[in-house]
Amino acid sequence: MLLFRWAILLLLLSAVVSFMFYAGTGQTRFKRYGLTILKWTLIAAFGFFAVLILENLA
């Protein structure tokens, strides 16, 4: 469980860094990278928490 928390934290941090690069350079590719990383991080986090909730129900 600690591994998943660290992975989600690092992915969120990489999305923030990507958005900072976008703010600094104005290149839209960094914004696209940040949004893609953020989208898949949130999907993975929701899936992880869904598994935890289902595990507690059973």
Walk along the chain (58 residues) in steps of 10 and give the mean pLDDT of each run: 89 96 96 96 92 90
Q: Are the beta carbons of 34 and 22 closer than 8 angstroms?
A: yes
Contact assessment for residue 34 and residue 15, using Cβ atoms and an 8 Å cutoff: yes
Tell me the three state secondary structure of residue 34.
Answer: helix
Q: Please give the pLDDT value at position 46.
A: 93
What is the predicted pLDDT for the residue at 22?
A: 97
**How much is the pLDDT for 2?**
86
pLDDT at site 43: 94
Q: Residue 5 has what pLDDT? A: 87
